[in-house]
Structure 1
C-alpha cells in the first residue's frame, strides 16, 4: 500500500525547507526528565551512572546517561544493552530500566553490564523515529555519522575498557511505522512508499555476519514465556525479510549502520515488540524486553 506524505513533492527528495516544515510539525508529548532521567537517578544506590554526552535541540538540553553495575570485575565479560535508539519505541527504554532495577544485580557475579537506556531523548519526548534533523539514528552508526545520538553512543562504547561479549538492542515495530514513519521516509528520500505487514508479536533481528541461531533461539524461548512470538506471513517473511527460524530474521547491521552493529561482540540481536497488538499490553511489552535480556544471559551462562 502506498501513502503520500503531506510534506514535500512526490518523487523529489526533501531540501532544507521541507525538513524545516517537518520539524515545525513536531511537538513535545512527554518528559524525558520525568520518565527517564528520574528513573535512572533512582537507581544510583544500585548502579553507577555516567553522563556520556549532551544534546541541545530547540532550546532544550538532553543529558545522555549510561548505567553500569557497581564494583565491576574487569575479568568478567560485559553485556551491552541499548534502548531508545528510536525514541518512540517506549518499551525498549522502559525495559532497559526495568532490567537494571529488578535483575541486573542478580548476575554481576558472571557479567558486567553497560546500559544506555535512551539514546534518542528528543525522539522519546516527541514520540519520533528521527532526530530533529530528520535523520534516523538507527541507520547512522558509522564513522562521521550525521546523528549526534549515534556518535555519542559509539564514542562512549568504543572507549569502554571491558570485553563486550553480547549486545542486545531493544526496539518496537508499531502501527505508526506504516501510518507515519515509512511514508515520511519515502517522502524525505523522494521514493515511493510501500508499507509492510506489521507482525503481530515479538521477533528478533539477528546480524547476517554473525547470526548465531542457537543464541537467537534461546532468547525467543525466554520471551515466549511472557508474550507471544510473531508468526511469519504467507511469504514466510517478517517485514519483507525471509525468516531464518521461528521469530527471527537477519539484517546486515554493519552495512545498514544499525546500533546492533556498533561493537565486535560475537552475540548480538535486536528485539522487536509489537505494542499495538490486541493480544498484549504495555507492561507485557516491557516484560518481553526484560525477558529477552534474560535470554541473552541464560545462553551466555551455558557456554
Structure 2
C-alpha cells in the first residue's frame, strides 16, 4: 500500500469542520436520476410485490430535494416461512448494487417467494446514487452508521426502523456493494482529509469477492455464493501478502469484518447468514451488465444455500 496525494479540501492533520463539509457539498452535482433510474422500476413491480415507502430523506435545505425510500416485499407474507433481506445502494455510487437488487426482483424473486418472505431495499442512498457518492450530504458514510441508539446517517436509521420487526428473525441478509478505482482516487483520500489522518491506498482487487461477518463467518455459505458467481464473472485473487483490501483471506474470494462493530449494513440484524458482495466494475474483464449479473448470481447463490441448509 502507498500513501496517496493529499485531498484538496482541508488542512493536513486537522479534521474537517462545517466550512470544509460545506465546500465538499458544494462540489457535488447530480449526474443521473434516482427517480428515472430506480423509482420508475420499483413502481413497475407493484403488480407482483408489495411496495412500501418506509421513509423519506428530506435534504431540501442542503440539496433542494426530498427522496422517498422503498422496500419491496413478498405480496403473500407467510409467517411460517423464513425471511430474507436484500439491500443495495448503501453506497449510492456502487451502481451494480442498486441495479442488481432491481434485476433480482424483476427476474428471480418470484421463484423464491414460495419458499421465503422477501424484503428488498434496492437503494438506501438516493442522493449518493445521483451524485455518484459514498457519503450522504452531511459527509457521513451510511455504511458505518448502522449503530444504536441513534444512527449518524438518516439512510441507515430509517432502514433500521423499517426492518426492526424482522431483525431478530431474519435467516439471511445479503448487502450488495462494489469496490471501485475511485475508492483510491477519491473516497479514501476524502475520508482521511475529513478525519485529519493520513491515507494509505489499498490494492484494488480485480474481480468479485465477499465480506462475511467475522462473528458468524458461515464459510460454506460464502463458498456457495462464490461458486455461483464464478459462473458469470471472475473471482478476485489475493495480493502478494495473501490479502484483499488489507484483510487476510478466509476462503477463496472471502474476507471477514466485524459487521456490528464497524456499523456496517450487514450487521443491522441477527441473521444467521450474512454477507456483503463486492464487484469490481473497473476491470478490463467487466461490463456494467456482467456486474449486475454477478450481483444477481450472488443473491441467487445465497438464497439457494440458506433455504436448503
The TM-score normalised by the length of structure 2 is 0.97
Matches within 5 A, 1:278-297: 278-297=284-303
Query: Counterpart of 2:164 in 1: which secondary structure?
Result: helix
Choose which of 274, 290, 303 in structure 2 pairs with 1:268.
Answer: 274
Task: After TM superposition, give the deviation of residue 210 of structure 1 in Å.
Answer: 0.3
Q: Please list the CA deviations of residues 93-140 of structure 1 after superposition, one character each: whole Å capped at 9, or x if unmatched.
A: 000000001111101111110000100001000000000000000000
Q: Assess, with a 3 A threshold, how the Cα gap between structure 1 residues 234 and 162 changes in structure 2: closer, same or farther.
A: closer
C-alpha separation in 2, matches of 1:125 and 1:224? 30
Q: Answer whether contact 2:167 2:271 (CA < 8 A) is retained.
A: no
SS in 2 for 1:253: coil
Q: Which runs of 5+ in 2 are unaligned?
A: none
Can you give the 5+ residue segments of structure 1 that lack an aligned partner in the other structure?
A: none
CA distance in 2, matches of 1:188, 1:251: 23
Segments of 4+ moved more than 6 angstroms: none
**Please, which of 156, 165, 185 is the counterpart of residue 150 of structure 1?**
156
Matching of residue 186 in structure 1 with residue 225 in structure 2: no
**Alpha-carbon separation, structure 2, partners of 1:270 and 1:230:** 14
Cα RMSD, aligned residues only: 1.0
- Counterpart contact for 1:74–1:162, Cα < 8 Å: no
State the Cα distance separating 1:152 from its structure 2 match: 0.1
Alpha-carbon contact 2:168-2:269 (below 8 Å) kept? no
Q: Deviations over 1:259-291 (max 9, x none)?
A: 000000010000000000001100000000000
When the two structures are superposed, what TM-score results if normalisation uses the length of structure 1?
Answer: 0.99
Alignment size in residue pairs:
303
Q: 1:256 aligns with which of 253, 257, 262?
A: 262
Q: Which residue of 2 aligns with 1:29?
A: 31
Partner of 1:119: 124
- Mark the CA change 1:103 to 1:162 in structure 2 (over 3 Å): closer, same or farther: farther
CA-CA distance at 1:162 after TM superposition: 8.6
What is the alpha-carbon distance in structure 2 between the residues aligned to residue 49 and residue 285 of structure 1?
A: 25
1:214 to 193, 216, 220: 220
Q: Which residue of 1 aligns with 2:107?
A: 102
CA contact (8 A) 2:92 2:132 kept: yes
